[in-house]
A = this chain, B = another copy of it.
Amino acid sequence: MATTKAPVAKPKINLLGFEQAEYKGGPSTLCPGCGHDSISSRIVSVCFELGIQPYQMAKFSGIGCSSKTPAYFLGRSHGFNSVHGRMPSVATGALVANRNLVGLAVSGDGDTGSIGLGQFKHMVRRNVPMIYIIENNGVYGLTKGQFSATADIGQKLKYAGLNELPPIDLCTEAIIGGCTFVARSFAGDPKQVEALLKAAFSHRGMAVIDIISPCVTFNNNEDSTKSYAYGKEHEERLHDMTFVPAREEITVDYAEGEVKPVTMHDGSTVILKKLENAYDPTNRLEALTRLEEARANQEFITGLIYVKPEGAPTIHDMVHMTDQPLTQLPDSKLRPSREALTSVLQDLL
């Protein structure tokens, strides 16, 4: 007797044939509601949707709650949870060693803006091709709530007291440092985070995304600019963003002049729907000016703040290295010949 089995819903797979589960990591041990966790989810879905080969990805982080997160996404990718504030150098070394790796770094505002500012700036300068996410909550979460270098001036926290130091704006720092893809977003704005992440994967060079990511335990008072409430209320998007991969046709439909399409290095397109102002993110001076104004007026602007769509020479270009990843060179290419030794020794005889 034949029975009709209810068809088991096939899990969705991406271009590479992977299920979304292949992009997940271990269970998070962060506080429930932490902004960082929602960013981890965004990374999982974007990598799945774009069909990024997880085995080719390499995750990097420093130390902090944010820096723990690479354990919570992309479990099929190697990860390097390094030391506090010095992840940029580690990522630089790894990506120089293997130029085929797709690098994704997660850091905190303390990790990048306090202890790590020097390495961050020098990494930007070297234009190491990778995505660099700052999960910015204005505090040191893991050490229980001290102010970081991005904390608001005049802010008061129960534990840390009053902050009298002006905040460092990491987007401005990145732009000044020559970064060619600089964005800011909000963990409470998943759509924008995803669009930015997608665009970042298409960028040629380093892409910095500063994401305000509330620390629900130590810095989520309404008066903090790094809280959910503040973010939701004050987020000012520079534009609405849609990312269209190179392989897809652009079908988004907007009135003439209303959108600005930005074609990335790999042929994909970021479609920016202009909002209140006609912001041009490809103009470096305009980007700096807008950030400076936002700083002065205490606005919380988000979006793709600056992009040079064609990118810029990366560290790989600067060292002129061969196409084959250095880590994959056969021993025969690593050790010169017996004759080569004889010949160089000749000069020393």
A interface residues, Cβ below 8 angstroms from B = 114-119, 121-122, 125-126, 149, 164-166, 168-169, 172-173, 176-178, 284-285, 288-289, 292-293, 313, 317-318
Residue pair A284, B292 in contact (C-beta under 8 Å): yes
Min CB distance A41 to B, Å, is 32
The complex places the Cα of A122 from the Cα of B118 at a distance, in Å, of 10
A288 CA to B178 CA in the complex, in Å? 14
Beyond the given A115-B118, A164-B313, A285-B292, could you list 8 further A-B residue pairs with CB under 8 A, ordered by the A residue number? A117-B117, A118-B121, A121-B121, A125-B165, A166-B178, A172-B176, A173-B176, A285-B289
State in angstroms the CA–CA spacing of A157 and B57 once bound together: 37
Min CB distance A264 to B, Å, is 21
Q: Name A's interface SS.
A: helix
Q: Are B164 and A318 in contact (CB under 8 A)?
A: yes
Give every chain B residue within 8 A of A117 (Cβ-Cβ).
117-118, 121-122
Residues in chain B near residue A122, CB distance under 8 A: 114, 117, 149
Please indicate which of the listed interface residues A119, A126, A166, A284 has the most CB atoms of chain B within 10 Å of its own CB: A166
Closest to A285 in B: B292
- Cα of A26 to Cα of B86 in the assembled complex, Å: 40
In the complex, chain B residues whose CB is within 8 Å of the CB of A121 = 117-118, 121, 168
Q: How far is the CA of A238 from the CA of B285 in the complex (A)?
A: 20
Residues of B within 8 A of A288 (CB): 288-289, 292
CB contacts (< 8 Å) of A119 on chain B: these are 118
Closest to A173 in B: B176
Closest beta carbon of chain B to A113's beta carbon, Å: 10
Cα of A285 to Cα of B293 in the assembled complex, Å: 9
Contact for A318 among B165, B169, B313, CB less than 8 A: B165
Contact, CB under 8 Å: A126 / B165: yes
Min CB–CB distance A25 → chain B (angstroms): 30
User: Which 7 A/B pairs are nearest by Cβ-Cβ distance?
Assistant: A118-B118, A164-B318, A117-B118, A166-B178, A285-B292, A117-B121, A172-B176
CB distance from A202 to the nearest CB of B (A): 23
User: Taking the nearest CB of chain B, how far is it from the CB of A333, in angstroms?
Assistant: 23
**How long is the Cα–Cα vector from A114 to B122 in the complex, in angstroms?**
8
Across-interface contacts of A318 in B (CB, < 8 A): 164-165
A160 nearest CB across to chain B (Å): 14
Is there contact, CB below 8 Å, between B164 and A168? no
CB distance from A23 to the nearest CB of B (A): 34
A70 to B: closest C-beta gap in Å: 23
Chain B residues within 8 Å of A168, by CB: 121, 125, 177
Q: What are 8 A-B pairs with beta-carbon distances under 8 A?
A: A117-B117, A118-B121, A125-B149, A164-B318, A169-B176, A172-B176, A285-B289, A288-B292
Most-contacted residue by chain B among A166, A176, A177 (CB, 10 A): A176
Q: Report chain B residues within 8 Å CB of A149.
A: 122, 125
Contact partners of A166 in chain B: CB under 8 A: 125, 178
Chain B nearest Cβ from A319, distance in angstroms: 8
The minimal Cβ–Cβ distance linking A177 to chain B, given in whole angstroms, is 7
A155 to chain B, nearest CB (A): 13
Q: Which residues of B have CB within 8 Å of A313?
A: 164
Closest B residue by C-beta to A177: B168
